[in-house]
Amino acid sequence: MTLGEALFRPRAVALIGASGDPAKNTARPQRYLRKHGYSGRIVPINPGRKEVLGETAYPALADAPVDVDHAFIMVEDVERALEDCGRKGVPVASIYSDGFADAGPAGEQRQRRLVERAKALGVRLLGPNSMGVVDLRRGLALTVNAILEMDSLPAGDASIVSQSGTMLGTVLSRGAARGLGFAKLVSVGNECDLGVGELVELLVEDSDTRVILLFLETIRDPERLARAARTAHAAGKPVVAYKLGRSALGQALARSHTGALAGADAAVDAYFRDCGIVRVDLLETLVEIAPLLRGRRPPDLARPGRVAVVTTTGGGAATVVDRLGLAGIEAVGPRPDAPIHDLTMTATPRVYQETLEKLLESSPCDSVLATVGSSAQFHPGLAIEPILAASAKQSAKPLAVFLTPHAERSLSLLAQRGIPAFRTPEACADAFSAYFSWVSPRKPTQLPAPPLRQDAFELAEALGIPAATRAIAHAPDYAHPIAYPVAVKVLDAEHKTETGGVALDVMNKDQLLEKIAPWSKNAVLVQKMEQGLAEAIVGYRDDPVVGPLILVGAGGTLAELYRDFSLALAPVTAEEAERMIERVKGLAMIRGYRNLPRGDVKALARAVADFSRLALVPGRPVAEAEINPLIVKADGVVAVDARLVLKG
Amino acid sequence: MTLGEALFRPRAVALIGASGDPAKNTARPQRYLRKHGYSGRIVPINPGRKEVLGETAYPALADAPVDVDHAFIMVEDVERALEDCGRKGVPVASIYSDGFADAGPAGEQRQRRLVERAKALGVRLLGPNSMGVVDLRRGLALTVNAILEMDSLPAGDASIVSQSGTMLGTVLSRGAARGLGFAKLVSVGNECDLGVGELVELLVEDSDTRVILLFLETIRDPERLARAARTAHAAGKPVVAYKLGRSALGQALARSHTGALAGADAAVDAYFRDCGIVRVDLLETLVEIAPLLRGRRPPDLARPGRVAVVTTTGGGAATVVDRLGLAGIEAVGPRPDAPIHDLTMTATPRVYQETLEKLLESSPCDSVLATVGSSAQFHPGLAIEPILAASAKQSAKPLAVFLTPHAERSLSLLAQRGIPAFRTPEACADAFSAYFSWVSPRKPTQLPAPPLRQDAFELAEALGIPAATRAIAHAPDYAHPIAYPVAVKVLDAEHKTETGGVALDVMNKDQLLEKIAPWSKNAVLVQKMEQGLAEAIVGYRDDPVVGPLILVGAGGTLAELYRDFSLALAPVTAEEAERMIERVKGLAMIRGYRNLPRGDVKALARAVADFSRLALVPGRPVAEAEINPLIVKADGVVAVDARLVLKG
């Protein structure tokens, strides 16, 4: 029996701590398994009762007369339950009980001990603090989540892995209300053993799952998840993430909530892009997006996405087109001055269908969006018939639908036929935005390991990045070999421009002595005065969550004020670095903006790529490194300030 | 009979062009009026029939045996129908027929003639291209909008005026699905006579209306709407707008769709702020926000808003808190490291209620948000009982609710009690963001009219803004009285830095002659070389939609790249200008950012206020004017370049 089988298709489940009081949470798994038609054996374990909710109960797991594939632990003494599982040969246990990493340092220690013991016993663990596992196609409702109170839930082919157990109910109930079903659902809790990454791998192997959805508060094992996402990509299964922590507030929360450090959001974005995970912004997009991605490959667009919008309702289409525009998506209309195919006056079902088909076949768009007005509410069948007909012909382009009124029946009909449909203009635009920015996982770059130096300038040079000619001038006469004009700097201060420890355009020795007098330093750095067309910042950081990152931004104070930078997982190639540079607004100035003189973007890209190779230094000793500014000239670049922080 | 009475409470309505075929759009008003229990007289006008859908019909309006308060015109020959209305003494006619300003230049002319004739006849017009008027409290369903097919629609105390007729159905159906009702609904169509502004005024007088909602594609009469919004504010009725045209795409659309020029979105924002209109970002926020604002005054906050979030479901609260953070709203938790009041383990209904009450009474928050999980779906009464109880005590602070699962019954129960509740974390955060940025209409500034000059520098000086000492130097010797170093510029080119027609730091006559030689100009502008701590741009524009605008931004190319500016309706006071400056990120550099030397923000604010007085020049002859850059020094400001464009 494989792990996936034990987790999702157990022949027998033990409910350790099953309550006979149907009002209690600990009675739910048993009630739900029965209610949703689980066909395997249910084994309630309860030391005080011979029978629980009509099922024969056993005082201890050892007394169970059958082999148990999956145990659900709801008792306080998790440790003892685990020992019982080990003795009984149970391959996997889901732990609902909490009081582990969710409960401070003592809980963390308790969790570590539990994991060690489980390894020794050969029991795989889901949780602790997990709400369990659901397989809607098989009636496996091994969960305490109240959503299973619903009499029936539609089954679909998207599965979800969630770090919040309650959000499973949120996603399921919202999907069910509009006819969208799911396949498998897993609440991972503290991820002490089975984590998001491994579960994604299990879902890649699962033939019922075609799209994998993630609700994430943090990323606990980024390497495993990245590997899993690449495997999913290879198998043609899109992975979609909704991740908290976009605002500082959300980040603080994710931290306190999960006991894990949430990465800064831009780093998470770079990480998702790197391994081909699609990120959605709105919660409902996570519920609604699966049909848009199912069976598709990343479009890998290097330009804005283009949608052809067909409508019979002007106002409704305008709400979604306005939103598409905000997301940088282009609406391809019949004429340049008409961004919408408006059939308000001319629409027969036949014309509508033919318009859709024609656009799906031949128009210069990447996708087609059909907007439907009030008919979706009052004549669901009629309203969506042309869309169903048009979607019957296979097309490489997605055909999606936005319904302006509240129209659950139309949404259901579309869901049944696997056609992506959206409740709000915002989720619709968010889904398109996610789809168009979906890229294939980046192929690992094979590059030689670079050397390491203790001095930031020497390090830059060792990596192949030119640095300004420099020398250290010592008291009392501060002699140096650099030709004037020079820049003079204190040796040790960060943010030199603020503290005043820098003098530019120093023309001669007298000026030098005059400038540095107030600093009272025995030694100063003297550099050749460099000038160029723009200043850039190139940064490297070994992020505690997602690993080595490379950053390029506009230099100077403004870059920080505007948070104008581009981030990617390191290392990157020069070609990738060039695309990063294109995303930095402030560097438009050297890309030919308004006839300003062009800077050497290629040299900047090479410098970014070279710097990113710090990720390849054996043992990854560099915590942070930065060239700021890197001066970009018409021909070449030169580092005039640099900083290096080694680990520990 | 007042206009409002004729429009919303007609004793008799004439349906001109009523069809006897119930499947036709032109049969809808009659069907809907009956269906929804309109108690007045219905008078179908149809030259071919004696009876329409069971009602006695008349061949012409003149034949109607009663006085008609409101005519609904659905025939092609609108002109003739209007004459009939005039003869019959009908005070108001709503026109469903199209082919007017919605149909190109010929249609525009037709519309102009129609309006002239209506004025002469004393008939007020709604439309053309209007879907009509609905009063849900009185069963007045004088509309072709299919939403009235619904057997019953809940009534509420928010009324909506929409430039898109179909969006009325969108808003109504979405509201109805969650128990939120509306009072009056008006589709304004082309606004040939009765416009959004006048309708807002009518709704201010309407005792059934407590919140006024607007769905806008454009703003056709900004002065009237602003006046109406101020009247609404005085009457304590919040006005909320969802407006298309946020993206360039949406703007193009709004233009082509309505035949009116949509203003740039930032200008619209400034306009709304000026007259106290609350703007929402998401379509569903427009549906859901009314209970949050009902009976409240603008908070007029000069700092970020603060929400205390109480929850029994960690994941659900996190989705909304993350979103609040993105909107710049602070979550006030029990401790600095815990932004949420998490009652997951401790919540009895009593504890929940007491926590809410305590926060509403005494916490340093501006509002309280209760988050409810799965119980909202399965035990609606129980789940929201503590919220209902807490809301029973009057509080100055809003108490709002976010439900994580699909939970229409809970939403309905809350709607019935007038408690703001939201379906999605995004609409919830959007509503709070709208609420916290809601400000009272600005009081008109009484300032003397400034003088006008033909030269931009002289104009700045006449307004009280210092300009760099300057002179024009002529060929052949280019003599001038300005002390070196100087700046030299060509006289007529815009964007001088790009075309190369500018030389800075010119040290002497020889350098001057050398620099200007390639320009081949007979005269150049010579200025004292000015230096400061930062460059700002100060701009004035008489916007075709919203009128005079004043802009302040960071100077140089970056301001344009980052679209980093602050906009307000002109004129502004120096105090208001200072608040505008605070919103410009790039000017943080002179506000004490990172210990950089502080610039004279007060002088900059005075210059902004002075420049904004261009709005007061009699006849408003200035189309555009700009000082760029205005150099900000530690002490004072000085204009070193300026531009002026007079109208026509």
Range in A481-495, B298-312, B460-474, B515-529 with the lowest mean pLDDT: A481-495
The distance of A536 to chain B (nearest Cα, Å) reads 14
CB contact under 8 A, B318 and A248: no
Each residue's pLDDT tens digit, B415-446 = 999 999 999 999 999 999 999 999 999 987 78
Q: What percent of chain B has pLDDT over 70?
A: 96
From residue B157, alpha-carbon distances to A27, A571, B378, B415, B575 in Å are 45, 59, 29, 11, 37
Side-chain-side CA neighbours of B68 within 13 Å: the count stands at 30
Task: Using alpha carbons, list the distances in angstroms from residue A358 to A149, A367, B65.
Answer: 45, 12, 54
Nearest by CB: A326 against B169, B247, B321: B247
Interface contact A247-B169, CB threshold 8 A: no
CB count, 10 Å around CB of B598?
14
- Whether residues B164 and A315 touch (CB distance < 8 A) is answered with yes
- Kindly tell me if the per-residue pLDDT of B491 is higher than 90: no
pLDDT value of position A391: 93
Q: Is the pLDDT of residue A76 over 50?
A: yes
The distance of Cα A346 from the centroid of its chain, to the nearest Å, equals: 43
Rounded percentage of chain A residues whose pLDDT exceeds 70: 96
Whether the pLDDT of residue A327 is over 50: the answer is: yes
User: For residue A260, what pLDDT is reported?
Assistant: 32
Residue B125 tokens, joined: 């017009």
Query: Are A325 and B217 in contact (CB < 8 Å)?
Result: no
* pLDDT, tens only, A389-427: 999 988 889 999 999 999 999 999 999 999 999 999 999
How crowded is residue B337: how many other Cβ atoms within 10 Å of its Cβ?
A: 10
Q: Is residue A583 within 8 Å of residue A288, measured between CB atoms?
A: no
Task: Look up residue A408 and give its two tokens.
Answer: 């659950």
Residue whose tokens read 């390491």: A452
DSSP string, A109-148: HHHHHHHHHHHHHT-EEE-SS--EEEETTTTEEEE--GGG
Give the SS3 label for residue A480.
coil
pLDDT at A35: 96
Q: Is A534 left (phi over 0), alpha (psi -120 to 50) or beta?
A: beta
- Would residue B642 be called left, alpha or beta, if left means φ above 0 and alpha means ψ between -120 and 50 degrees? beta
State the pairing for strand pair B534-543/B547-554. antiparallel
Question: Which H or E run contains B204?
Answer: helix B196-205
Q: Burial letters for B371-410: b for 16+ Cβ neighbours within 10 Å, e otherwise?
A: bbbbbbbbebeebbebbebbbeeebebbbbbbbbbbbbbb
Higher pLDDT, B270 or A559: B270
- pLDDT band at residue B315, thresholds of 50, 70 and 90? confident
Instruction: Kindly report the average pLDDT of chain A as a whole number.
Output: 91
Residue pair B316/A170 in contact by the 8 Å Cβ criterion:
yes
Residue A558 is predicted with a pLDDT of 64
Helix (H) or strand (E) holding B121: helix B104-121
The pLDDT, as a whole number, for residue A261 is 31
Helix (H, G, I), strand (E, B) or coil at A199: helix
Give the per-residue pLDDT at A249: 55
Rounded CA gap, A30 and A52, in Å? 9
CA distance B191 to chain A (A): 16
* pLDDT score, position B181: 96
Asked if the Cβ–Cβ distance from B247 to A407 is below 8 Å, we say: no
The Cα B70–Cα B3 span in angstroms is: 10
Average pLDDT over residues B245-257: 53
Question: Which two structure tokens, joined as six digits, stand for B582?
Answer: 């605070």
> In degrees rounded to 5, what are phi and psi of residue B47?
-65, -20
Name residues whose C-beta falls within 8 Å of residue B421's C-beta, 6 or more positions apart in sequence.
Answer: B178, B288, B291, B400, B401, B402, B403, B410, B411, B414, B415
Residue B636's pLDDT is 96
Phi-psi region of B295 (alpha: psi -120 to 50; beta: other; left: phi over 0): left
Interface mutation target, options B97, B162, B167, chain A, most CBs of A under 10 Å: B167
Q: Which of A176, A322, A596 shows the shortest C-beta gap to B253? A: A322
Q: Which residues contact B546 (CB under 8 A, 6 or more apart)?
A: B219, B222, B263, B267, B268, B270, B271, B569
Nearest CA to B376 out of A402, A131, A173, A154 is that of A173
pLDDT at A206: 97
**C-alpha distance from A411 to closest chain B C-alpha (Å):** 14
Per-residue pLDDT at B576 exceeds 90? yes
What burial class does residue A599 get, using C-beta atoms within 10 Å of its C-beta: 0-12 exposed, 13-18 middle, 19+ buried? Answer: buried
Specify the 3-state DSSP secondary structure of A617: coil
B421-422 and B399-403 strand pairing: parallel
CB–CB of A250/B325 below 8 Å? yes
B614 secondary structure, DSSP code: G
Q: Do A217 and B177 touch (CB under 8 A)?
A: no
Is B632 within 8 Å of B533 (Cβ atoms)? yes
Q: How far is A250 from chain B (nearest CA, A)?
A: 4
3-state secondary structure of B177: coil
Q: Could you count the other beta carbons within 10 Å of the beta carbon of residue A394?
A: 6
CA-CA distance, B632 to B639, in Å (whole number)? 9
3-state secondary structure of B197: helix
Q: Are A47 and A25 in contact (CB under 8 A)?
A: no
> Distance (Å) from the C-alpha of residue A253 to the closest C-alpha of chain B?
7
DSSP assigned state of B235? T
Q: Which pLDDT does position B364 carry in this prediction?
A: 87
Other beta carbons less than 10 A from residue B323's beta carbon: 28
> In this predicted complex, what is the ipTM?
0.93
Higher pLDDT pick, A491 / B236: B236
In this complex, do B249 and A330 lie within 8 Å of one another by their Cβ atoms?
yes
Structure tokens at B537: 């741009």
Give the pLDDT of residue B339.
84
Over range B50-77, report the average pLDDT: 97
Query: Residue A253 above 60 pLDDT?
Result: no
Test the A interface: residue of B96, B322, B432, B499 with most A CBs within 10 Å: B322
Instruction: Strands of B462-575 (E only): list them.
Output: 470-474, 486-489, 502-506, 523-528, 534-543, 547-554, 565-569
Residue B217 to residue A169, Cβ atoms within 8 A: no
> Strand (E) positions, B312-395?
330-331, 340-342, 367-372
d(CA B196, CA B215): 10
Answer for the pair A135, A36: CB distance below 8 angstroms, yes or no.
no
Peptide bond preceding B571: is omega within 30 degrees of 0, i.e. cis? yes
The verdict on whether omega for the bond into residue B380 sits within 30 degrees of 0, i.e. cis, is: no
Which residue's entry shows tokens 């203009």?
A425
> Please, are residues B544 and B418 in contact by the beta-carbon 8 Å criterion?
no
pLDDT digits (tens, 9 = 90+) for A598-635: 999 999 999 999 999 999 999 999 998 999 899 999 99
- Is the pLDDT reported for residue B27 higher than 90? yes
**Residue A484, number of CB atoms within 10 A of its CB:** 15
**CB-CB neighbors (< 8 A) of B556 in chain A:** none
Closest by Cβ to B249, choosing from A176, A257, A322: A322
- CA distance to partner chain B, nearest, from residue A374 (Å): 6
Residue B244 φ/ψ, nearest 5 degrees: -70, 170
CB-CB contact of B454 with B622 (8 Å):
no
Cβ burial A157-169 (10 Å sphere, 16+ → b, else e) = bbbbbbbbbbbbb
Q: Are B280 and B286 in contact (CB under 8 A)?
A: yes
Residues in chain A within 8 Å Cβ distance of B319 = 167, 244, 283
Q: How far apart are CA A245 and CA A248, in angstroms?
A: 7
Name the pLDDT band for A259 (thresholds 50, 70, 90).
Answer: very low
Q: How confident is the model at residue A440 (pLDDT cuts 50, 70, 90)?
A: very high
Q: Residue A509: CB partners within 8 Å, gap ≥ 6?
A: A478, A484
Residue B258 clears pLDDT 50, i.e. is over it: no
Its sign, for the CA torsion B210, B211, B214, B220, is positive
- The CA radius of gyration of chain B, in Å to the nearest whole number, is 30
Query: Would you state the pLDDT for residue B253?
Result: 45
Residue in B465, B410, B449, B492 with CA at minimum distance from that of residue B622: B449
Evaluate if residue B263 carries a pLDDT over 60. no
DSSP code, position A303: S
Q: Which of B254-263, B378-387, B550-559, B629-638 has the highest mean pLDDT?
A: B629-638
Residue B146's closest chain A neighbor by CA?
A: A374
- pLDDT digits 0-9 by tens, A473-530: 999 999 999 999 999 999 875 545 555 788 989 999 999 999 999 888 899 999 999 9
What single-letter DSSP state applies at residue B142? E
Share of chain B above pLDDT 90, in %: 77
8 Å CB contact between A628 and A534 = no
